[in-house]
Chain A
Amino acid sequence: AQKVTQAQTEISVVEKEDVTLDCVYETRDTTYYLFWYKQPPSGELVFLIRRNSFDEQNEISGRYSWNFQKSTSSFNFTITASQVVDSAVYFCALSDGSGNTGKLIFGQGTTLQVKP
């Protein structure tokens, strides 16, 4: 069965600190897709990144970076020099390639609080 685990329920940091959000996934598929979404206090879900299972290159986008490691089934997300506006719930999600349903399996989310 497919599963996404975000072991960190809540993280609190002070502004300008770096923070890493962990994501571990389980799937038997060889083709799959991984995503990160942000849910700010306003409630909407904002897409951050997509990775397919054949692309293990790490990615950096401004203060955001992602580390995908198939060997440990992890897809971790790091925010460098955090800001108050980064406060949100962050979801890691997995979509299978074999079922072709597009269904996103979400982790339980990590609530990040960035204090000024």
Chain B
Amino acid sequence: EAQVTQNPRYLITVTGKKLTVTCSQNMNHEYMSWYRQDPGLGLRQIYYSMNVEVTDKGDVPEGYKVSRKEKRNFPLILESPSPNQTSLYFCASSLSYSLEQYFGPGTRLTVT
């Protein structure tokens, strides 16, 4: 089944404890991206990647890192999480940046 998977789906952590949210797609998509969804602020792009080893900042990259060492994986790293990073995170992938993006199921992160 063609899909984007994210792990974990739910995470509660404490301020400053490094964490990684994994994202993997099995559709051989070149383009991948991360969004966060917050009440009142909507969905905003954090980082994106046009292809392997090519990543760039979206609108809200502060406090996040990404890497794209393989085409299928695009992990989101929070080196020192803070409470303002409590959010619902979505990974997405697409054949190309101009085509439709397919989203993972979301990761609900709570930082206390």
Residues of chain A whose beta carbon lies under 8 Å from any beta carbon of chain B: 33, 35, 37, 43-47, 50, 52, 91, 95, 97, 100-104, 106-109
Report whether B103 and A103 are in contact in the complex, using a CB–CB cutoff of 8 Å: no
| Nearest opposing residue in chain B for A109, CB measure | B42
What are 8 A-B contacts with C-beta separation under 8 Å? A43-B106, A44-B104, A45-B103, A46-B103, A95-B97, A100-B98, A101-B48, A106-B43
Tell me which residues across on chain B come within 8 A of A107, comparing CB atoms. Answer: 42
Report whether A106 and B42 are in contact in the complex, using a CB–CB cutoff of 8 Å: yes
**In whole angstroms, what is the CA distance A35 to B88 when docked?**
21
- Most chain A CB within a 10 A radius of its CB, from B33, B43, B59, B99: B43
Residues of chain B whose beta carbon lies under 8 Å from any beta carbon of chain A: 31, 33, 35, 42-43, 45, 48, 50, 56, 58-59, 88, 90, 92, 94, 96-106
**In whole angstroms, what is the CA distance A44 to B48 when docked?**
19
Report whether B45 and A104 are in contact in the complex, using a CB–CB cutoff of 8 Å: yes
Tell me which residues across on chain B come within 8 A of A97, comparing CB atoms. Answer: 98
* Known contacts A50-B100, A95-B98, A43 near B105 by CB under 8 Å: yes
Report whether B42 and A100 are in contact in the complex, using a CB–CB cutoff of 8 Å: no
**In whole angstroms, what is the CA distance A93 to B75 when docked?**
24
Report whether B100 and A103 are in contact in the complex, using a CB–CB cutoff of 8 Å: no
**In whole angstroms, what is the CA distance A103 to B31 when docked?**
11
| Nearest opposing residue in chain A for B31, CB measure | A102
